[in-house]
A and B are shown apart, each in its own frame.
Chain A
Amino acid sequence: MFKIVAKEKLSDVIYRTVVEAPKIARKRKAGQFVVVKIDEQGERIPLTISDADPEAGTISIVFQTVGYTTKQLSTLKVGDHILDIAGPMGHPTPVKNYGTVVSIGGGLGTALGRPITEALYKAGNHVIAIISARNKSLVMFEEEMRKISHELLIATDDGSAGFHGFPTQLLQKLIDEGRKIDLVVCVGPVPLMAAVSKVTKPYGLKTIVSLNPIMVDATGMCGACRVTVGGVTRFGCVDGPEFDGHQVDYDELMKRLKTYTEREQEMNQRFAGQFQEVKR
């Protein structure tokens, strides 16, 4: 049992939950995730560790309410328990001083990529952070990102904050200005990671993306998280979650992520209203 010690609503659909998990907190590195199963009937879902406090023995998870389990998770209060948490899973980000790093986060991806950006910042890189969202109210972690970057750029689809347009346009601009970039890291929705990789590929600009395929055990046992990288099937859970952005078959990933859409709709209907009683 893992006790929830803090909880915060970051937007209409995004929450941060802090959980006691001392062994994971001690071991976890940037880029890794945990598998969460809320209760006896629950499914196992992978969630990125967005931060950890080894002293306090806690990890924090930032998540968006998209399916049944994340909705259920959003209803748990401080003092409640999560039945099962396992991790830290996946390979940590290869952190070193690359030189100049552009870190791109889209929506929730900003929060999920934050520990990676922080680790690269601490490793002495010059960090240019680009955070993006559909509109101003969805721009996340601006203050946190400012602390761990040398330059912070914001892009919104509707222009309500920062640059009016996509983060890829800001990235293209940096490239066109002749900025020396040694690494691009992108965490966000699949179309964004695909678009960023498409921008950097012609320049041979090393690009790391963090993938979010469907998983069950997340220990390498089931293969639900198969992704094609460089024409070879890899397992997102044990070979990833980070891969060379130029090698990933994003089209396949998008399709595979829709495997259970029907079932999700059915669950949403069946449980519509069930989670509304709990506010906070």
Chain B
Amino acid sequence: MKDPTVCEEGHNLKQQKAPRQRMPEQDHHQRIKNFSEVPQGYTPELARLEASRCLQCKKPLCRAGCPVGIDIPAFIKLIAEGDYVGSARKLKEYNSLPAVCGRVCPQEDQCEKVCIVAKKFTSVAVGNLERFAADYERTNGAVSIPELPEPSGYKVAVVGSGPAGLSAAGELVKKGHEVVIFEALHKAGGVLVYGIPEFRLPKAIVESEIEYLKKLGVKIELNSVIGKMETVDELLGNGFDAVFVATGAGLPLFMGIPGENFCGVYSANEYLTRVNLMKAYDNGHVTPILKRKRIAVIGGGNVAMDAARTALRMGTEEVYIVYRRSRTEMPARIEEAKHGEEEGLRFHLLTNPVRILGDEKGWVKALECTKMELGEPDASGRRRPVPVPNSEFLLDVDCVIIAIGTSAHPLIPMTTPGVKVNPKGNIIADEKNGQTTQEGVFAGGDIVTGAATVILAMGAGKQSAQAIDEYVRKKRPARTSAHR
């Protein structure tokens, strides 16, 4: 009979001595009073101990589980050997934003899910280690500028400075191209700055990644709404050899239930933008935000958790998560829901909002909900929630935040006739190289896939950069620098 403690590669799982190292966290009583990061990071000692748990598999499943195929055993081995900077550089061969991905990647569904160690114990904390190496490199001033090739003479425009745009820009500039990122907002970073809260991803990290790209030579034009100020076709006509569209899935969806336009109803995007991008939590900033007593956040994803936990930090007395399925189906990362629960979020599961009630002045005064139960599985494979008859009840809230998802930003498709979209409004692009229906125009990230993860968007940016490099070099002979 096969010994269950010996894996396919012959590692003896009994040899595991150290348990998975927990990352120290800010106490939940304290942290709901501030916007500082919740997990505090590994010390070098903890990191080495955790790294020593990796079995260094010959055929690492974790690597196959990573959307960008990071050589996970290699970077972990370097940590175990104490070469933290070397580890960070190994990570950056595959992933230009490891400090970001170490924090926001859903590792439990990717690399860590398939980790062999998890068969017997808990998986190696790949995400925590990734974060450690990247933070070590950054905070110790060890970030180095790689040697760049001679200028190629080609010029590429990147529309949008979120994860897809940043990763494409980084790859393109390293191939010697002149890269200009056009960002519609006044700050670069896309969802990393307007969406993900400070306590989950400190903005200083995003800023330092952007500074790094600038040092590599990437130009960033802020306040530049492509499609309005200049179209994609105009960029192509004005000296750009190719355009990479990475405008994301930024349009908030509403439920279409009565009362959604009462004062005190926010999209999660608006609530988070006011707090994260516009810093409404700081009284020195001008942007206003409503401070209400009881807030219902509708939705069960990471954005719902972000909005709800932000609302707690804004001093809201009661914050409810209202989600129509059960905890098992909740798309939010387990860690986020757990953190939220520790902080005092209250979950109304199997609960579907049907109507928002308002007062005569047009302000939210309650949320009417129906209890749900799970029926047969639907197209997503999850059991379909069906209303329980006569189960309506009122939730006493004075603010509602809707976090049920976002859809593709329509501005580029609307203003670029050559670029075709699917019925959902996502740009049609080749899965492997991002080529759209228009020559010279590539696209990647959420604008192509619909709302997904940071790592997938970065992967798409990287793949498209490769394809763009091949495209521009084939399109015309390189200009010498004398012609530029």
Contacts and interface: CB of A to CB of B under 8 A. Distances in A.
Interface of A: 23-24, 27, 37, 41-44, 68-69, 83-89, 216-217, 219-224, 226-228, 233, 238, 252, 255-256, 258-260, 263-264, 267
A221 B251 contact: yes
Nearest to A27: B229
A223 B229 contact: no
A87 B254 contact: no
19 contacts: A27-B229, A41-B285, A42-B285, A42-B286, A43-B288, A44-B278, A86-B223, A87-B225, A89-B225, A89-B228, A220-B409, A222-B252, A223-B252, A233-B260, A238-B411, A256-B261, A259-B264, A259-B290, A263-B288
Contacts of A264: 288
List of 5 A-B pairs having minimum Cβ-Cβ separation, nearest first: A255-B362, A222-B270, A86-B223, A263-B288, A84-B186
A257 to B, nearest CB: 9
A39 to B, nearest CB: 9
Contacts of B287: 43-44, 216
A233 B229 contact: no
A260 B362 contact: no
B263 A256 contact: yes
Nearest to B225: A86
B410 interface: yes
Contact of B273 (A27, A83, A221, A228): A221
Given A23-B230, A41-B285, A43-B278, A221 B411 contact: no
B185 interface: yes
B263 A221 contact: no
B194 interface: yes
A49 to B, nearest CB: 12
A219 B185 contact: yes
B261 A252 contact: yes
B474 interface: no
Contacts of B266: 224
Contacts of A233: 254, 260-261
Contacts of B273: 216-217, 221-222
B385 interface: no
Nearest to B223: A86
A84 B228 contact: no
A27 B263 contact: no
A89 B224 CA distance: 11
Given A88-B228, A223-B254, A217 B286 contact: no
Contact of A219 (B222, B270, B274, B411): B411
B250 interface: yes
Interface string B66-77: 000000000000
A221 B286 contact: no
B443 interface: no
B361 A43 contact: no
Contacts of A227: 261
B186 A37 contact: yes
A175 to B, nearest CB: 32
Contacts of A24: 229
Contacts of B362: 252, 255-256
Interface of B: 184-186, 194, 222-225, 228-230, 250-252, 254, 260-264, 266-267, 269-270, 273-274, 278-279, 284-288, 290, 361-362, 409-411
A258 B360 CA distance: 13
A86 B269 CA distance: 19
A219 to B, nearest CB: 5
A93 B83 CA distance: 62
A27 B228 contact: yes
B270 A223 contact: yes
B67 to A, nearest CB: 25
Given A219-B184, A221-B194, A84 B290 contact: no
Contacts of A68: 286
A87 B260 contact: no
Nearest to A38: B286
A220 B410 contact: yes
A228 B251 contact: no
Contact of B269 (A43, A88, A222, A256): A222
Nearest to A255: B362
B263 A259 contact: yes
A218 B194 CA distance: 14
Contacts of A216: 270, 273-274, 278, 287
Given A27-B229, A84-B186, A238-B411, A220 B250 contact: yes
B186 A86 contact: yes
A3 to B, nearest CB: 14
A147 B269 CA distance: 44
A264 B266 CA distance: 19
A115 B230 CA distance: 21
A69 B286 contact: yes
A42 B270 CA distance: 16
B150 to A, nearest CB: 31
Contacts of B264: 259
Nearest to A259: B263
Nearest to A226: B261
A223 to B, nearest CB: 4
A13 B462 CA distance: 52
A41 B284 contact: yes
A86 B184 CA distance: 7
Nearest to A256: B263
Contact of A41 (B184, B286, B411): B286
A68 B409 CA distance: 31
Given A44-B186, A233-B254, A252-B261, 12 more contacts: A44-B278, A84-B222, A86-B225, A216-B274, A220-B409, A221-B252, A222-B274, A223-B267, A226-B260, A238-B410, A256-B263, A260-B288
Given A37-B186, A41-B286, A86-B186, A255 B250 contact: no
B244 to A, nearest CB: 19
A191 to B, nearest CB: 16
A219 B409 CA distance: 9
A93 to B, nearest CB: 15
A87 to B, nearest CB: 7
A42 B330 CA distance: 37
B185 A27 contact: no
Contacts of B411: 219-220, 238
A211 to B, nearest CB: 13
Nearest to A42: B286
Nearest to B251: A220
Contacts of B262: 255
A244 B276 CA distance: 35
